[in-house]
Amino acid sequence: MNSLHLKSIQNKIVDAIGADGMEFLLHTKNYFTATLLLKGIYFLTIPIFTSLLTPADYGILGIYTSLVSIFTVLIGLNFDSATIRYFYEDQDDYEDFIRSVYWFVTVIGVFCIVLIYIFRNAIAIYFNVEEDIVLYAVLVPFFNHSFMMYLSTMQAKRQSKRYSQLVLLQRLSSLALTILVIYLMTNDRYLGRIYMELLTAGISFLLFLRYFGKKYTFHWRYIKYAANIAIPLIPHVLSSFIMSYFARIIINKVDGSASAGIFSLADDVGAIMMVVSMSFNKSWTPIFYQKMNDNDVIGIRKQSARIIKYTALIAVFLIFFSREIVLLVANDRYLAALAIVPPIILGKAFGPLYTIYSHVTDYYKKMIAISITTIAVGIFNIFLNSIFIPEYGVIAGAYTSMTCSILLFVFHYVTARYIIGSKVLLLRPMLTPYIWVVLAIVFYLWGVENIESLLLFILIKVTFLVLIFIAFFKARIV
């Protein structure tokens, strides 16, 4: 009886979300489980890091992370995006394509290392860090590009389980070694994380070099294809990093590494929302391309709407309990991060929304339109941060990032709907769930000021969440 009842429930779930929805959730489960385990373990270790590292140390690591992200794009030329796109060109030479791209990126990486070494002093002065940090930040993505290229092939082939296993193995090894080394060090403990990232990236490089090197293949036609897809998107990707990291760079220059550490911690907490966004995106990208090839407009609309509604539910939860999360993972030296987390979460909640619209532009290979959109918002982000952070401090960085994320959605929507003329996505179903997020923020801010009992406030928040979930379920949303 119990198994029949369970089977009946499973059938109702499948009927509610459809076969396509089940496939999406299956891959999302794999990506999300791996990322959640990584972030979950990382969040569990944040109290360790915040007790061993000063806010200044944490701030230096934040700037180092920013540099790694920038150098990753410059070294890899964003070619990993082309490896996913080429898989759906229905060609039988995918392995030759991958190896040609790999060797080209390796040569470009060596050139970038030499160039950055020459200008290391100027870069260090601008970012207000030591020259060694700049050099470490360029070596890590160079050694890591073999691993990232292989992961792209796994994503394209929808091998989400293997993808997740590899990511978990590398990142957990690095994290465990990092904690051990930081604990053993007495000075400049932040270097422990950098050293261990360099070590694990180097090991990954040697391991996956065997995979890519067992058969040498190189054809310029593959490089031309990848360049046409990826290079126009480099300004887009760099501008995205500007919106993610420029605030902490300005804070580091204006207020020092301690304030940058406060902002970095708040951004790390807000990164839970990015985990959701990235997991959805990794699952949805190959499915979206296939559905566009099949002209399955209805399927795209239904699945896109579900993604946004799942995002809204998670955003409401994180905003409601952002205070508790910060108090759980940090000590008194980081309490200034409490006011920064909610706007950061709201901004990151718009990530899946503008990403879905950018996929439409990407499918029609209008890469320049994507880059122009992101560059414009990136420049506006620099403008806002340069004006408001010196005036209002760390809190300004959170609100400028949130504003630019919303603006990025607006620009991507206009590009997809009016410049390209695509009617694949409908606006109303995509925006409606964010009404719940706005209501949640208003209620949360009211509750912080007016509800003195912490237990009562938690009970009300849980009740609010349950009501939202029921409303979504009755509307056949989840």
pLDDT score of 1: 47
pLDDT score of 473: 67
The two structure tokens encoding residue 182: 């930081």
266 touches 10 (CB < 8 A): no
pLDDT score of 13: 47
Report d(CA 43, CA 267) in Å as an integer: 12
Q: How confident is the model at residue 137 (pLDDT cuts 50, 70, 90)?
A: very high
Q: Highest-confidence range of 143-152, 159-168, 270-279, 386-395, by mean pLDDT?
A: 386-395
Report d(CA 80, CA 109) in Å as an integer: 14
Report d(CA 410, CA 373) in Å as an integer: 10
Report d(CA 198, CA 143) in Å as an integer: 8
Instruction: For residue 189, report the phi and psi dihedrals to the nearest 5 degrees.
Output: -65, -25
pLDDT surpasses 80 at 29? no
The two structure tokens encoding residue 193: 């994380």
Report d(CA 71, CA 201) in Å as an integer: 14
pLDDT score of 7: 52
CA distances from 144 to 55, 170, 209, 467 (A): 28, 10, 11, 44
Kindly tell me the sign of the dihedral angle through the C-alpha atoms of 218, 224, 230, 232.
positive
pLDDT score of 110: 94
Instruction: For residue 423, report the phi and psi dihedrals to the nearest 5 degrees.
Output: -115, 25
311 touches 370 (CB < 8 A): no
124 touches 133 (CB < 8 A): yes
Q: How many CA atoms lie within 13 A of 60 on its CB side?
A: 19
> Tokens 């109303």 label which residue?
428
pLDDT score of 215: 75
**pLDDT tens, position by position, 319-366:** 888 888 888 777 777 778 878 888 898 898 888 888 888 888 888 878
Q: How confident is the model at residue 36 (pLDDT cuts 50, 70, 90)?
A: low
Share of the chain above pLDDT 90, in %: 15
pLDDT score of 478: 45
The two structure tokens encoding residue 471: 């409303």
Q: Quick one: average pLDDT of 374-387?
A: 89
- pTM for the complete prediction? 0.69
**pLDDT tens, position by position, 182-214:** 888 888 888 998 999 899 899 988 888 877 777
Report d(CA 215, CA 320) in Å as an integer: 53
46 vs 93, residue with greater confidence: 93
What is the distance between the terminal CA atoms of the chain, rounded to a whole angstrom?
Answer: 26
The one-character DSSP state at 187 is S
Share of the chain above pLDDT 70, in %: 88
**pLDDT tens, position by position, 224-250:** 988 888 887 787 777 777 777 888 888
Q: What angle do CA 261, 267, 269 make, to 5 degrees?
A: 110
**pLDDT tens, position by position, 469-478:** 887 766 654 4
The one-character DSSP state at 425 is S
The two structure tokens encoding residue 132: 């060694």
